[in-house]
Structure 1
Amino acid sequence: MTEAAIIDALLTFLPQQNTAEDDFNRLALAIFAYQFEHNSSYRRFALQRGRTPFTVKHWRAIPAIPITAFKDLTLSCHDIEDVEAVFMTSGTTGTVKGRSYHPTLDVWKCSMTQNFRQRFMAGRERIRMGILFPDNTTLPNSSLAHYLTLAKHTFGTADSAVMLNDNGLDWDRLFAALEQAEASGEPYALLGASYSFVHLLDELQRQGRRFALPEGSRILDTGGFKGQSREIEADDFYNALTHALGVPREQCINMYGMTELSSQFYDNGNVECPSVKSGPHWIRTRVVNPLTGEEVPEGEIGVLVHHDLAHFNSASALLTEDAGVAVEGGFQLLGRVTGADAKGCSLAMAEFLAAAQGAQ
Structure 2
Amino acid sequence: MISAQDIFGIQTQEEFQKVALDVFKFQFKHNTVYRSFCDLLYIHPSDISNYRDIPFLPIQFFKSHEVLSSKEAIQKTFSSSGTTGSITSKHYVTDLSIYEQSFRKGFEHFYGPVEDYVVLALLPSYLERDGSSLIYMVNDMINQSKHPESGFYLHNLSDLKEKLLELEAQQKKTLLIGVSFALLDLVESFQFDLKHTIVMETGGMKGRRKELIREELHQILKKGFGVEHIHSEYGMTELLSQGYSKGQGIFECPPWMQILTRDPEDALTLADNHKTGGINVIDLANLNSCAFIATQDLGRAYPNNTFEVIGRFDHSDIRGCNLMVL
Same topology, TM > 0.5: yes
Find 2:39's aligned residue among 47, 67, 86: 47
Alignment deviations for residues 165-216 of structure 1 (CA, whole Å, 9 cap, x no partner): xxxx1123212202312332323321121222122123x1xxxx32222x23
Question: Using the alignment, how far apart are the partners of 1:136 and 1:292 within structure 2?
Answer: 31
Q: Does residue 98 of structure 2 align to residue 107 of structure 1?
A: yes
Q: Deviations over 1:15-50 (max 9, x none)?
A: x3x622222122112211221122112111111212
Pick the aligned partner of 1:335 from 308, 311, 319: 311
Structure 1 match to 2:202: 222
The residue that corresponds to 2:123 in the other structure is: 133
CA offset digits 1:306-349 (Å, max 9, x no partner): 111011122211111111122353122100124xxx5982441x
- Taking a change above 3 Å as real, the CA distance of residues 122 and 100 of structure 1, as seen in their structure-2 partners, is same
Q: Classify 1:138/1:241 alpha carbon distance in 2 versus 1 (closer, same or farther; 3 Å).
A: closer
Partner of 1:325: 300
Check conservation: 1:288, 1:304, Cα contact below 8 A. Answer: yes
Partner amino acid for 1:232? L
Q: Is contact 1:198-1:230 (8 Å) kept?
A: no
List runs of 5+ in structure 2 lacking aligned partners. none
Alpha-carbon distance change, 13 to 45 in structure 1, aligned in 2, over 3 angstroms = closer
Residues 1:314 and 2:306 aligned together:
no
Q: Which runs of 5+ in 1 are unaligned?
A: none
Could you say what the CA RMSD is over the residues aligned between the two structures, in angstroms?
Answer: 2.4
Counterpart code for 1:142: S
Partner of 1:244: 224
Q: Deviations over 1:274-302 (max 9, x none)?
A: x2212111112111115152222222211
CA–CA distance in structure 2, aligned partners of residues 67 and 180 of structure 1: 43
Q: Name the residue aligned to 2:28.
A: 36
Given that 2:58 and 2:295 are in contact with CA atoms closer than 8 Å, whether structure 1 keeps it comes out as: yes
**Residue type of the alignment partner of 2:39:** L
User: Could you say if the C-alpha distance between residues 146 and 276 of structure 1 is closer, same or farther in structure 2, counting changes exceeding 3 Å?
Assistant: same
CA contact (8 A) 2:29 2:35 kept: yes
Query: 2 CA distance for matches of 1:333 and 1:135?
Result: 22
Mapped partners of 2:316, 2:173: distance in 1: 46
Length-normalised TM-score, structure 1: 0.83
* Structure 2 match to 1:174: 160
Higher Cα Rg: structure 1 or 2? 1
| Comparing 254-263 and 323-332, the one that deviates more | 323-332
In the alignment, residue 211 of structure 1 is paired with which amino acid? F
Change (3 A) 1:136 1:295: closer
- Contact preservation (8 Å) 1:112, 1:263: yes
Q: Is the 8 A contact 1:132 1:192 kept in 2?
A: yes
Alignment correspondent of 2:318: 345
Q: How far is 1:115 from its partner? A: 1.1
